[in-house]
Structure 1
Amino acid sequence: MKINSLRLTLTALVLTTAVLCSAAAEGIESKIKNVKVFHSGAVIEREAEINVQKGISTIKFTGLPAILDKKSIIITRKENTGSMVLDYNFIPEERKDLKEIRIEKETAKAEKLIRSIQEKIKIHTERTDFYEGLKKGINSGVSKVYNTSVNSETGQIEDLIFKGVLEEKIKLNIYADSLKQLNSELEKLKAESDSIKYIPLQTLSVNIESKEPVENTFVIKYFISNAGWYPFYNMNILSKSEKSKLDILATVYQETGEDWNDVKITVSTEKPASIQTIPNLNGIYLNKGSNYKLGTGTYRELTENKKENVREFRIDELDVTDIKTDFELKNTFTLKSGQRSLKAKMDDIMLKTRYRDIIFLNKNSEVNHEAYIKNSAARTIMKGNINLFLDDEFKGKEKLNDLRPDDSLKFSLGSDKSISVVIELLDDKTEDQSLFGNTAVRKISYEYRLKNNGRNKRKIALENFIPYAMNEKVKIKILEGKWNHNPLNGKIEAEIEMNPGVEIKLPMKYSIEYPKDENYIR
């Protein structure tokens, strides 16, 4: 009885060992289901359905890239079935991708053909030399040496030799061309082989303990570099409305060594806290275009007289809103490792737009058409390249910096010379104010004459600059003309309406009062 019991125990042990060995020997291909791509790096999520045996089993997940961050590995089960992951380790794989295998086969085939052609060239070169030798023998009068192998009549011998030489040279030329073509193909194959960025693979070997045989789906997550994304935009300005359509698109690239086949892709504006672990993402908060951290601090504001006022504040009292940071791309996508990047639409939004015709008053004045587009969305539009369209017609490319909520973009939509501008200096004189102190007053007077040569009524903004004071001892005043004046930078502005064919005269007179022996004017 004891012997039978011992036999049963040994049999069970052998069977258990066989099962474990079988599970350990078989590799399981997991499938990538989801990818979250950051500006630099990505989190890969793989799944595999596994039949787990009772007891301790070793499961090998093959085909994982060797460059993944090993410390970031997370292994979970979709269902809590009583199985438990004990530990894991990585085993290097020696595997070549299909492209490398194809190149090796084509290279071997080309090299074999080259050797064959080289051998044929050698044979036909020897035959050509033989016929050339016969030809020389006949010409030197010693053709009798060859009378046993060719016709004894000299004319027939010469014809045969000529024909033989011609045929051999034709064959040599054909083989030489083939050899040249094959060598060129071989060089291309070698260049293609050198361009392959071979990223080695590895097997994830996992020891699992289960109380009973179960079927479960295991999920493997890890962080990997050599992947990323960046945004770009199509901006279509709709001139017949007060809106512009902004298409937000993503360019995704990856050279991870693994192909993303039919996967869900999410792009994220967050930065991983560390590449050593699955990223803990740091939130970004904005308030009127500025980044803040909770706490206290100071800020400086510049007043008109250039004095700095320092004011204390508490950030937690500000109206802070969180930014949406993840964008799940619609549908599923396939992106092979190292292939051209994937471009996909993330979103589209309508932005408020206003238009303005403006003339910068100078010698070459012309009407500039401008569009001001306000970010009326609730999130920041990230920096990137813009393809600019006007009523679906491509106008050019622009660069966009981060555009926060309520910030505006300005685009130039071209110009025309339908309004002529004449600038005339009427007067420029300096008055000595010595009776009232050590000061002088310079008075400058211009006249701007504008004429609408077009057929339509126009509303035009005008801009120019006059000197501005660098010291409180200098005083600049507008004496004549309805101009808005900014004393901090000397900018003057006005707005007019012009009917077709009408000429408008605008006076502009200002004064500069300053100490006679000093110069504070810029």
Structure 2
Amino acid sequence: MKRLRLGLWACFCLCAATTLMGQNKVKTTAEKVTLFIDGAQVTRTKQVDIPAGNSTLIFTGLSPYMDAQSMQVSAKGKLTVTAVNRQYNYIDSLAVSEKQQSLQKELKKIEKQQKEQNAELGLINAEYEMLKTNCSVNNKNTATSLATIKEVNQYYSGQLKTLKTKELAINEQIAELAIKQGQLNSELAQLSGKSLTPMSEIVVNVNAPAACKATFTLNYYVKNAGWFPSYDVRSGSLAEPISIIYKANIFQNTKEEWKNVELSLSSSNPSTGSVAPTLSTYWLDYGLAAPRYNLNLNGNTVSGIVLDNERTPVIGATVTIPGTTIGAITDINGKYSITIPNGQNKLQFSYIGYQTQTR
């Protein structure tokens, strides 16, 4: 069993982690959402086919506003989760690129149609010239009868009317193509200047002794969503009781889709830490205000970095508080952050294949 070495600032050393070869991108849908006044807890579940050996699952299309410290991944199946990390991916850039290519193809089609319509217009102008050249029935040697003149005029008028109708139809099509061309150019310009938002991905490294099916459950807290209450107060008359209707106004700007989700509303504040503050004496007297406490998640937070003996960040090392279920996993840079309850002063560092140490 290999031993770990720990630095003074919560840094412990491991040998180099094994590189995982196979990668599988997994798309999930939000199934349950608990909506708080500020933020939301999202649950996603997905069954995945796992090959034998080491592999990497990348759960894509997650909100860029995900709180990495709240990220939890559980798996049911005959496998071991060796690491969980969060990364960013500009998946929107691919969608924008495909949209730009589609718009450019449409523009080329319109340009081709415009050339065809202009060619048709040129043929009509040529027919106009031919009619003008051949419509004359004058002959210096013989007199032209009135019936012949009427017949020629009638033919000329009919042909002219037909050509004029075609010309009007072609000009209308050219105008419509020009409008559509302008719209496509405008949309293409907007896409070219669009600011892309990187979406989050959860990278899960697993090891399975044999190929199997596993069900993964993702839980995380996300910002830019929430709800606020509003009330309708109604009464038919002074003699009737007041009716109060309680409403919830919901907003969701997480950039991920919540479709047909099981939605729950909560009035609690998830940003309030679970560590009770040390109470201060509240003196009652004129001009004295009540003590104020900082209840955010950063109250008893300890953070650090895990490095190997070559000073390379270790990805997926487990940092836990002994005797509790509180823990964290190092990210792609080997960093971790964990909130320690009052009365606790130890951290346990572990990694597969190495001796666990407590400091």
| TM-score, normalised by the number of residues in structure 1 | 0.40
CA contact (8 A) 1:224 1:256 kept: yes
Q: 1:108 to 1:294 in 2, by over 3 A?
A: same
Q: 1:66 to 1:237 in 2, by over 3 A?
A: same
| 1:258 counterpart letter in structure 2 | E
Deviation at 1:32, TM superposition (A): 1.4
Larger CA deviation: 215-224 vs 250-259: 215-224
Q: Deviations over 1:348-393 (max 9, x none)?
A: xxxxxxxxxxxxxxxxxxxxxxxxxxxxxxxxxxxxxxxxxxxxxx
Residue 252 of structure 2 aligns with which residue?
A: 254
Residue 124 of structure 2, aligned match among 123, 128, 134: 128
CA contact (8 A) 1:134 1:161 kept: no
Residue 296 of structure 1, aligned match among 272, 277, 282: 282
Once residues 228 and 123 of structure 1 are traced to their aligned partners in structure 2, the CA distance between those partners, rounded to angstroms, is 59
Deviation at 1:183, TM superposition (A): 4.5
Residue 220 of structure 2 aligns with which residue?
A: 222
Q: Any gaps of 5 or more consecutive residues in structure 2? A: 1-19, 140-147, 293-359
The SS at the match of 2:206 is strand
Residue 245 of structure 1, aligned match among 243, 254, 270: 243
**Pairs aligned (count):** 261
Residue 177 of structure 1 aligns with which residue?
A: 172
Residue 86 of structure 1 aligns with which residue?
A: 83
Percent of aligned pairs with the same amino acid: 19
Deviation at 1:297, TM superposition (A): 3.3
Deviation at 1:64, TM superposition (A): 2.4
CA contact (8 A) 1:232 1:250 kept: yes
The SS at the match of 2:125 is helix
Matches within 5 A, 1:313-324: none
The SS at the match of 1:171 is helix
Q: 1:299 to 1:120 in 2, by over 3 A?
A: farther
The SS at the match of 1:90 is strand
CA contact (8 A) 2:32 2:43 kept: yes
Q: 1:98 to 1:161 in 2, by over 3 A?
A: farther
Q: 1:38 to 1:181 in 2, by over 3 A?
A: farther
Residue 115 of structure 1 aligns with which residue?
A: 111
Once residues 187 and 115 of structure 2 are traced to their aligned partners in structure 1, the CA distance between those partners, rounded to angstroms, is 27
CA contact (8 A) 2:114 2:177 kept: no
| 1:170 counterpart letter in structure 2 | T
Once residues 228 and 183 of structure 2 are traced to their aligned partners in structure 1, the CA distance between those partners, rounded to angstroms, is 33
Once residues 94 and 32 of structure 1 are traced to their aligned partners in structure 2, the CA distance between those partners, rounded to angstroms, is 18
Q: 1:171 to 1:120 in 2, by over 3 A?
A: farther
Larger CA deviation: 129-138 vs 164-173: 129-138
| 1:171 counterpart letter in structure 2 | K
Q: Any gaps of 5 or more consecutive residues in structure 1? A: 1-19, 145-152, 274-278, 284-292, 301-309, 316-522
| 1:296 counterpart letter in structure 2 | Y
Matches within 5 A, 1:332-343: none
Once residues 125 and 248 of structure 1 are traced to their aligned partners in structure 2, the CA distance between those partners, rounded to angstroms, is 67
Residue 41 of structure 1 aligns with which residue?
A: 39
CA contact (8 A) 1:127 1:168 kept: no
| 2:71 counterpart letter in structure 1 | I
| 1:175 counterpart letter in structure 2 | I
Residue 163 of structure 2 aligns with which residue?
A: 168
Once residues 280 and 314 of structure 1 are traced to their aligned partners in structure 2, the CA distance between those partners, rounded to angstroms, is 18
CA contact (8 A) 1:59 1:207 kept: yes
Deviation at 1:259, TM superposition (A): 1.2
Q: 1:177 to 1:187 in 2, by over 3 A?
A: same
Once residues 214 and 205 of structure 1 are traced to their aligned partners in structure 2, the CA distance between those partners, rounded to angstroms, is 19
CA contact (8 A) 1:231 1:251 kept: yes
Deviation at 1:242, TM superposition (A): 5.1
Deviation at 1:260, TM superposition (A): 0.8
Once residues 235 and 32 of structure 1 are traced to their aligned partners in structure 2, the CA distance between those partners, rounded to angstroms, is 35
CA RMSD of superposed structures (Å):
4.7
Deviation at 1:206, TM superposition (A): 1.5
Q: 1:83 to 1:313 in 2, by over 3 A?
A: closer
Residue 55 of structure 2 aligns with which residue?
A: 57
Higher strand fraction (1 or 2): 1
Once residues 123 and 224 of structure 2 are traced to their aligned partners in structure 1, the CA distance between those partners, rounded to angstroms, is 59
| TM-score, normalised by the number of residues in structure 2 | 0.54
| 2:117 counterpart letter in structure 1 | I
The SS at the match of 1:258 is coil
Q: Deviations over 1:17-39 (max 9, x none)?
A: xxx75xx3432222312223334
The SS at the match of 2:283 is strand
CA contact (8 A) 1:114 1:179 kept: no
Deviation at 1:296, TM superposition (A): 0.8
Deviation at 1:131, TM superposition (A): 3.8
Q: 1:203 to 1:113 in 2, by over 3 A?
A: same
| 2:169 counterpart letter in structure 1 | I
| 1:90 counterpart letter in structure 2 | Q
Q: Deviations over 1:178-204 (max 9, x none)?
A: 343454456566777849986554543
Residue 236 of structure 1 aligns with which residue?
A: 234
The SS at the match of 1:295 is coil
Deviation at 1:294, TM superposition (A): 6.0
Once residues 72 and 183 of structure 2 are traced to their aligned partners in structure 1, the CA distance between those partners, rounded to angstroms, is 42
Q: 1:161 to 1:49 in 2, by over 3 A?
A: same
* Larger RCO, structures 1/2 (Cα 8 Å, 6+ apart): 2
